[in-house]
Amino acid sequence: MRTSTGTPDTESPGAGAVASPSLRELTDEIATEKATAVDAGRPAAVSAQHERGRLTARERIDRLLDSGTFVEVGQLARPTGDARLMRDIDAPADGVVVGRGRVDDRPVVVVSYDFTVLGGSMGHVNDEKFSRARQIALRDGVPLVVFAEGAGARINERMGSTTIRGHERFSDLSLLSGWVPIVCGVSGPAFAGHANLVALSDFCVMVKGSALGLAGPRLVEAATGERVTAEEMGGSTLHAEVLGSVELEVGDEDAMMDAIRTYLGYFPGNAGKDVPRAAYQSQDGERLPDTMLRLVPDNPNTAYDMRRLVRLVFDDDSVLEIKPRFARNVVTSLARLGGRPVGVIANNPMFLAGSLDTPASDKMARFINICDAFGLPIVFLADVPGYLVGSAAERTNLVRHSMRPLWELGQSTVPILTVVIRKAYGLAYHTMGGAEFHPELLVCWPSAQVSPMGADGAVNVIYGRHDHVPADVRDEVTAEFRDLERPIHAARRVKIDDILDPRDTRGTLIDTLCFVQSASHVSGHWRPPKKRGVSPV
């Protein structure tokens, strides 16, 4: 009987045996295959993308993330080759680059579709990689950043009934919504499935000249016979100015990266964490300059620059306006007060006198929803003469859309702080953080005019166009109504917290936020144990 001595077996393989590759050889083999997926291994594809004036999928990740922090997932992915039209087709990383990284030293998951690989199309293995990214974001509670570029599904391998069970993209994104920030960047064509990702994101930046739509030009022509360019179908300016389906249009991809980094800086990694506070050196009293006393014209019908007021009230260089060119009658911005991120909603007297309409209502409602989801207090700066009325306005379904921001306020749990700058009339006043939503702070400037409607309009409603009512009677009633609009009457009956010296606006807002320790709370009435509310739209 032979006894083992523990000596390693160093005997050579027998005659005819095939030697197993060494670990070094196996490692080198994998490294060689990985090299075919990176930009350095694909110079022709990279050059073609640059000729289009766009960065590659990997360059976008490098521009966004902190240097050296990217850890890739699925670099060795390739199409399965099951479909006849996909056999012998080379698709490095299967057309999407996925992984973890850090933005300003905070973790994110990033997904970057590669237009140089089969036009950025979405195949089966490609979808598995995106699914993995969603799982990581959901489990770890970190933001998801997607760079969308492509024409949607890879039809070569997606035909047939077996596609009836998909990759749970939409259900996953619905679960992620409100749990982690979802951000999308578009710098080329983004149609079909790529457009779906934009629509399910919280914040989308489009580079000027890019395009977005549910169907691309080739599909539209095949289905309808209509010939249309990508720009005509859904150019960035259309989406940023007319439709409001994206938050920003920027000049180039570097500006897109800056916007994404800035946006993420206002939000926690997930809804279970506190908002990130910036370092801030408190100023004694936080009193604003006398400029504040000259900002609002004495004539209540004269417009002024509300954006300037916002810049003065909030921390220096902290304001990021959301959808600045859509529904310009209302200004929605992310900003900081004493280093703390907040949402800001302000009427803009420079457009439609600051009155509200369907586009403004939709813009406000979505913004309230996002702020509430991630615990950002909302500051309202109200100067609103009412809702824009008339037959044209009614045909935009104003009846229902006007209720969207009110419904979102009723659902919200974050602190609300409301400052009435000038006009606050009727339903529109309630939309601007009115008293029935139990704001933490409800104050007026001395210039405020608060009433169910303006004095002139009220007199016309009461007396109509009747000539028999003497002009002096109309003038007397109008003057009385105007006096009743003054905030002193509300202050004397404790209907508001105070009438502020405009120069104290910033300090009062900061002091109030200091008392609100929790990122979110529920104020007001008892709430029933229901599953969810039903949106009016």
Same domain, 253 and 365: no
Of 99, 149, 91, nearest to 123 by C-alpha is: 91
- Are 480 and 307 in contact by the 8 Å Cβ rule? The answer is no
Same domain, 251 and 317: no
Same domain, 309 and 210: no
Spatial distance between the Cα atoms of 354 and 387, rounded to a whole number of angstroms:
9
**pLDDT tens digit string along 115-159?**
999 988 888 888 999 999 999 999 999 999 999 999 887 777 767
Which range has highest mean pLDDT (119-123, 274-278, 378-382)?
Answer: 378-382
- Determine which helix (DSSP H) or strand (DSSP E) holds 128, and give its type and residue range: helix 124-140
Domain extent, residue 491, equals 291-448+486-515
Of 248, 264, 280, which marks where a domain is finished? 264
Same domain, 257 and 313: no
Same domain, 258 and 302: no
Quick one: pLDDT at residue 11? 54
Q: Decide which of 469 and 82 is more confident.
A: 469
Same domain, 214 and 72: yes
Quick one: pLDDT at residue 479? 86
187-222 as b/e: b if 16+ CB within 10 A: bbbbbbbbbbbbebbbbbbbbebbbbbebbbebbee
Q: Decide which of 315 and 2 is more confident.
A: 315
Quick one: pLDDT at residue 285? 63
Residue 1 has pLDDT above 60, yes or no: no
Within 10 Å of residue 503's Cβ, how many Cβ atoms?
Answer: 17
Structural domains counted in the chain: 2
Residue 415 lies in a domain: yes
Residue 1 lies in a domain: no
Of 223, 249, 264, which marks where a domain is finished? 264
Q: Give the pLDDT mean for 35-60.
A: 91
**pLDDT tens digit string along 438-464?**
999 999 999 999 999 888 888 888 887
Quick one: pLDDT at residue 132? 95
What number of residues does the chain have?
537
Residue 14 has pLDDT above 70, yes or no: no
Same domain, 301 and 192: no
Residue 409 lies in a domain: yes
Residue 28 lies in a domain: no
Quick one: pLDDT at residue 519? 44
Q: Give the pLDDT mean for 177-183.
A: 97
Torsion of CA 277, 278, 281, 287, to 10 degrees: -80
Same domain, 337 and 420: yes
Residue 534 lies in a domain: no
What CATH number corresponds to the domain at position 429? Answer: 3.90.226.10
**pLDDT tens digit string along 488-514?**
999 999 999 999 999 999 999 999 999
Quick one: pLDDT at residue 525? 64
Q: What are the tokens at 514?
A: 């200091």
Same domain, 252 and 389: no
Residue 140 lies in a domain: yes
Same domain, 56 and 110: yes
Collapse the DSSP code of 291 into the 3-class scheme (helix H, G, I; strand E, B; otherwise coil) and give the result. helix
- Are 367 and 322 in contact by the 8 Å Cβ rule? The answer is yes
Quick one: pLDDT at residue 206? 98
Spatial distance between the Cα atoms of 209 and 186, rounded to a whole number of angstroms:
10
Residue 304 lies in a domain: yes
Same domain, 227 and 325: no
Residue 95 lies in a domain: yes
Same domain, 234 and 313: no
**pLDDT tens digit string along 334-379?**
999 999 999 999 999 999 999 999 999 999 999 999 999 999 999 9
- Are 412 and 370 in contact by the 8 Å Cβ rule? The answer is no
φ, ψ of residue 23 to 5 degrees: the values are -60, -35
